[in-house]
Amino acid sequence: MKKIPGLELSVQNIFCIGRNYAEHAKELGNAVPAEPVVFLKPTSAICYDGEFIELPRQSNRVDHELEVVVAIGRKGKNIPAGEAHGYIAGLGIGIDVTARDLQEKAKETKMTWDLSKGFDTFAPISSFILPPSDPARLMNLKFDLNVNGVLRQQGTTADMLHSIPKIIEYLSQAFTLSPGDLIFTGTPKGVAPLKSGDQCVARLEDWTELRIQVR
């Protein structure tokens, strides 16, 4: 069973939100969605600080997508956005690793993204910290990713199309959220390919960081 570092929880479901930053949608030539785009990753995709992203032989382009990750701490269904803060056990930083060529092929054939998003090690996560006591703080979290010492992605949750509370509200209308569920909340612009030997450092504020290598 995969654990959530920093929390006394095991990973349950991994929910991901696509196209949640307008500039990222534009950089890939996608329409900006009116509602959250939801997809899932298997728990086997989880890996941790100090480990490796493994590049699969099935893909010729694997991209990084930096994301704030929310860990759910209480069971809930039909959670109002105004109460969502009380269901958050912790916040972390993660990378939604994507086999971009496989995703584009899936789009062309109107198939799901599962394979392109779900390879082993395609969901690296940091240690998690308790959420800020002020719910409003969720609306302005800053985060960044450096690859080989060069800034690749930088974002703030203020630019989200759908805020963290709204995402929790939306997901809980369809799914019963459970302790240990993770939510990858979307990536800002700047996604780019990874290559073997890359050294990645992702940070959420000055609270937590993820250091991971690519091979």
Task: Give the CATH number for residue 36.
Answer: 3.90.850.10
Q: What is the 3-state secondary structure (H, E, C) of 177-203?
A: ECCCCEEECCCCCCCEECCCCCEEEEE
Which of 72, 84, 88 lies closest to 177, judged by CA?
A: 72
Q: If DSSP codes are grouped into helix, strand and coil, which group holds residue 159?
A: helix
pLDDT of residue 30: 79
Handedness of CA 94, 45, 183, 158 (dihedral sign): positive
Residue with tokens 């963290």: 164
**How far is 201 from 146, CA to CA, in rounded Å?**
5
**How many angstroms separate the CA atoms of 35 and 167, rounded?**
10
CA-nearest of 148, 5, 169 to 89 is 5
Tokens representing residue 83 in the block:
């109460």
Report the amino acid identity of residue 99: A
* Whole-structure pTM value: 0.97
In this prediction, residue 28 carries a pLDDT of 81
Residues of the chain with pLDDT under 70: none
Taking Cα atoms as reference points, which of 65, 69, 70, 59 lies closest to residue 30?
Answer: 65
186 with 69: CB under 8 angstroms?
Answer: no
Cα 66–Cα 69–Cα 74 angle in degrees, nearest 5: 170
> Structural domain tally of the chain?
1
Helices of type H across 58-210:
100-108, 114-118, 164-174
Distances (CA, A) of 10 to 7, 194, 199: 8, 28, 27
Distance between CA atoms of residues 122 and 214, nearest Å: 11
Cβ distance 75 to 178 under 8 Å? yes
- In tens, the pLDDT along 81-106 reads 999 999 999 999 999 999 999 999 99
Q: Which domain holds residue 97?
A: 3-214
Secondary structure (DSSP) of 77-93:
SS--GGGGGGGEEEEEE
